[in-house]
């Protein structure tokens, strides 16, 4: 029988260190040609409401190390006014997320779980950044500059703090209420938290600068960067929108650039990376894959002088397969009454000819 895994289950059963390790295994397996994660497919069409578009987001992947494959299918409405305000806002008629992740057992091909993706989505992106920071950042990196105040920003703080001795966080958000809330949450961990008045103040003096926003245009400028900083961003262009979290000067000033996946750069036309390469601002051999770094094939380290840029350039379905496998097995072993009978999912098999 397949089980239903809720966001509350994920909160309770998956720790950030566990999720970071699952992402590390996934990217190592991807580099070895064992894991599979195809570029996601996104599209938007006009909804009956002139002010909104229907938006779909689908991707698939598998991690044999965890014995699980998955399909993630997202369904949203996008507020068009958000684009005019330089941000992308998912706004369904009800305050819910209709996205679902289906987990399949690789050994039997049977669907074993239907997973709510809201909480895990932010967690696996943050955990992937945690893998990158652990592999790239200076061991003594202690000051984090954080742009953003939502779920992604919180997840990235937790992941980075799990792998580096963060003692001070400089955080900025254009929303004063959200800014106050994240300052309070991070402050509970006993670190010094400063509510910065601007993005510029966030960057000043930070060892690691992390962008975790919903912006459409740059919030960090390369002119602000200081020698030895590690810069991280999560916003990427796709088939539905052009989005940039940093300007081209960040690419130009970075000695090394790290991404998750080249196939998604091209399939989703991530022009914020492709254009600097086409203009000659970035040499393609300066762009490295996270999986190759995790697997030890490439060495990239934040130094005292050089700037390193980690462009967390795409979410990959294999991330849900690996992290989902951990939660699925824990919940299955606990026992749950949220089950779907096998016969509801097992369609009749037809022969050919």
Q: What distance in Å separates the CA atoms of residue 2 and residue 4, rounded to the nearest whole number?
A: 7
Whether 155 and 277 map to the same domain: the answer is: yes
Number of other residues whose CB lies within 10 A of the CB of residue 165: 10
Residue 147 lies in a domain: yes
Residue 352 lies in a domain: no
End-to-end Cα separation, the chain, in angstroms: 31
Q: Three-state SS for 292?
A: helix
Q: Three-state SS for 326?
A: helix
Residue 43 lies in a domain: yes
Segments forming the whole domain that contains residue 88:
2-120+316-345
Number of domains in the chain: 2
Whether 147 and 217 map to the same domain: the answer is: yes
State how beta strands 143-147 and 168-172 pair.
parallel
Backbone Cα Rg of the chain: 20
Whether 90 and 44 map to the same domain: the answer is: yes
Q: Three-state SS for 70?
A: strand
pLDDT below 50 — which residues of the chain?
Answer: 84
pLDDT of residue 127: 98
Q: Three-state SS for 286?
A: helix
φ, ψ of residue 142 in degrees (nearest 5): -130, -15
| The model's pTM | 0.92
Sign of CA dihedral 270, 217, 224, 204: negative
Q: What distance in Å separates the CA atoms of residue 171 and residue 130, rounded to the nearest whole number?
A: 18
Residue 84 lies in a domain: yes
Tally: H helices and E strands in the chain: 13, 16
Whether 113 and 138 map to the same domain: the answer is: no
Dihedral angle, C-alpha 186, 246, 258, 31, nearest 10 °: 80
Q: What is the DSSP secondary-structure string of 157-211?
A: HHHHHHHS---EEEEE-S-HHHHHHHHHHHHTTT-EEEE-SSHHHHHTT-SEEEE
CATH number of the domain encompassing residue 327: 3.30.1780.10
Residue 128, both tokens: 């992937």
Residue 187, both tokens: 């402050």
Query: CA separation (Å) from 265 to 124, 208, 220, 287, 326?
Result: 19, 24, 21, 12, 29
Residue 266 lies in a domain: yes
Whether 107 and 148 map to the same domain: the answer is: no
Whether 136 and 281 map to the same domain: the answer is: yes
Residue 76, both tokens: 């949203």
Whether 288 and 140 map to the same domain: the answer is: yes
What is the DSSP secondary structure assignment for residue 121, as one 8-state letter? H
CATH number of the domain encompassing residue 187: 3.40.50.720
Whether 98 and 47 map to the same domain: the answer is: yes
Query: CA separation (Å) from 287 to 31, 257, 262, 293?
Result: 15, 5, 9, 11
pLDDT of residue 82: 62
Whether 221 and 320 map to the same domain: the answer is: no
What is the DSSP secondary structure assignment for residue 280, as one 8-state letter? T
Whether 103 and 174 map to the same domain: the answer is: no
Residue 350 lies in a domain: no
Cβ distance 315 to 101 under 8 Å?
A: no
Residue 197 lies in a domain: yes
Residue 62 lies in a domain: yes
Whether 145 and 231 map to the same domain: the answer is: yes
Q: What distance in Å separates the CA atoms of residue 38 and residue 71, rounded to the nearest whole number?
A: 11
Whether 162 and 258 map to the same domain: the answer is: yes
Q: What are the beta bridge partners of residue 5?
A: 115
């Amino acid at each position: 029988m397949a089980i239903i895994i809720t966001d509350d289950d994920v909160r309770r059963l998956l720790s950030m260190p566990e999720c970071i390790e699952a992402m590390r295994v996934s990217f190592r397996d991807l580099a070895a040609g064992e894991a599979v994660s195809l570029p996601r497919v996104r599209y938007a069409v006009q909804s009956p409401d002139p002010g909104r578009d229907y938006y779909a987001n689908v991707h698939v992947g598998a991690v044999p190390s965890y014995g699980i494959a998955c399909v993630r299918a997202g369904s949203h409405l996008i507020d068009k006014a958000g684009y005019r305000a330089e941000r992308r806002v998912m706004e369904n008629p009800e305050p819910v997320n209709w996205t679902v992740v289906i987990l399949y057992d690789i050994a039997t091909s049977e669907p074993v779980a239907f997973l709510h993706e809201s909480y895990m989505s932010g967690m696996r992106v943050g955990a992937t950044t945690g893998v990158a920071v652990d592999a790239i950042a200076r061991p003594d990196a202690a000051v984090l500059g954080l742009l953003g105040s939502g779920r992604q920003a919180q997840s990235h703080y937790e992941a980075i703090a799990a792998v580096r001795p963060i003692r001070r966080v400089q955080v900025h958000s254009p929303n004063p209420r959200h800014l106050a809330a994240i300052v309070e949450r991070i402050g509970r961990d006993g670190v010094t938290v400063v509510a910065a008045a601007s993005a510029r103040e966030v960057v000043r003096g930070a060892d690691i600068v992390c962008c975790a926003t919903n912006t459409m245009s740059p919030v960090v400028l390369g002119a602000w960067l200081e020698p030895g900083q590690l810069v991280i961003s999560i916003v990427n262009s796709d088939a539905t929108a052009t989005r940039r979290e940093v300007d081209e000067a960040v690419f130009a000033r970075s000695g090394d650039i790290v991404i998750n996946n080249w196939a998604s750069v091209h399939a989703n036309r991530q022009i914020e990376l492709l254009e600097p390469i086409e203009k000659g601002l970035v040499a393609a051999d300066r762009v490295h894959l996270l999986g190759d770094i995790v697997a030890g094939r490439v060495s990239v380290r934040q130094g005292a002088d050089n700037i390193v840029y980690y462009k967390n350039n795409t979410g990959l379905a294999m991330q849900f397969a690996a992290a989902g496998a951990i939660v699925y097995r824990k919940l299955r072993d606990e026992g749950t009454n949220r089950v779907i009978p096998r016969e509801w999912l097992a369609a009749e098999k037809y022969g050919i000819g």
